[in-house]
Amino acid sequence: MTERRLIFLTGVLFCAIGVSSLLGNAQTYLGVDRNDYPGDEAMVALHKTFAFTGYWLSSPPGSNHNSWQGKRKQLQATGYGFILLFNGREYQQLKASGNSARVGTSDAATAVEAAKREGFPKASIIFLDQEQGGRMLPEQRAYIHAWVDGIARGGYRAGVYCSGIPFRESSAKSVITANDIREHAGGREIHFFVSNDQCGPSLGCVFPKPAPKPSVSGVTFADVWQFAQSPRRPEMTSACRPTYAQDGNCYPPGVPSSSGLHIDVDTANSPDPSQARPDAQGPALSEP
């Protein structure tokens, strides 16, 4: 082999490695989540594209009913992994409670009992849905810490779903919610499911194979990345607007918008993010 040909092939190899590091590899997996259960037939069809699904242990945001309840065995038999989700409290509720830590402890107990009732094994990760972004206020921080501690005491592991998008506090300073929570965790083991639908790093409503790595979200320690939402947020998605349907939602491959089956799209380092390896995000919280 000539020296010139060797140099050329080496360059091709490094190029391939660079692309692979951006998009992912065989160890990244696509997932789907939505607040309402799509139906048994739809979930079977969706498994052709998605390895895992969100699974609510509480009523989702804006709802007083949980349509996912009782579906674990069927979905597991279909081959799905899971992102276990529990709806967290908003700041106004915590402020009004007068004791956000007590609310966090109570909500953690509720989440643990729901996980047991649904048959999810001990050490599964339960993600607290933290919809409000920016820097956490004292009441929010106390609530999250008490919830994480309560989940650990119950024999499960704690995660947080939160924003991975920089929030501008001032002209000179921005904060990413995931970073803020992690930096103030006090040594607690917390796994992160981050949302960043901003194009880029998001590619929009697409279903690439291989899936992008969660770290491409901008949060290097993320276990899961939600990179497309329904409906799309115009201020975040203008650069990849054509990937969404005309009604602004994201639909699975081959599914028309008339179906109403709009989804959020995720990627993870595991086909079952609820069972990620125990040491993925630092030391486990010691028992009190």
Structural domains in the chain plus CATH codes: 29-275 (3.20.20.80)
Give, in order, the Cα–Cα distances in Å from 93 to each of 86, 170, 211.
Answer: 16, 26, 37
pLDDT at 32 over 50: yes
What distance in Å separates the CA atoms of residue 155 and residue 108, rounded to the nearest whole number? 11
Mean of pLDDT values over 48-52: 96
Q: What is the pLDDT of residue 277?
A: 61
Written as one letter, the residue type at 10 is T
pLDDT at 43 over 70: yes
pLDDT at 284 over 80: no
What distance in Å separates the CA atoms of residue 255 and residue 38, rounded to the nearest whole number? 12
Closest CA to 163 of 251, 97, 213, 229: 229
Residue whose entry in the numeric block shows the structure tokens 């007590």: 102
What distance in Å separates the CA atoms of residue 251 and residue 76, rounded to the nearest whole number? 23
pLDDT at 279 over 70: no
Per-residue pLDDT band at 259 (split at 50, 70, 90): very high
What string of H, E and C letters represents the secondary structure of 229-281?
Answer: CCCCCHHHHHHHHHHCCCCCCCCCCCCCHHHCCCCEEEEECCCCHHHCCCCCC
Q: What is the pLDDT of residue 145?
A: 98
What distance in Å separates the CA atoms of residue 50 and residue 63, rounded to the nearest whole number? 25
Q: What average pLDDT does the chain have?
A: 88
pLDDT, tens only, 183-194: 999 999 999 999
Give, in order, the Cα–Cα distances in Å from 176 to each of 72, 194, 237.
Answer: 33, 10, 18
Mean of pLDDT values over 44-62: 96
138 Cβ contact partners less than 8 Å away, ≥ 6 residues apart: none
Closest CA to 156 of 70, 57, 60: 57
Q: What is the pLDDT of residue 244?
A: 97
pLDDT, tens only, 124-157: 999 999 999 899 999 999 999 999 999 999 999 9
Q: Is 0.95 topped by the overall pTM? A: no
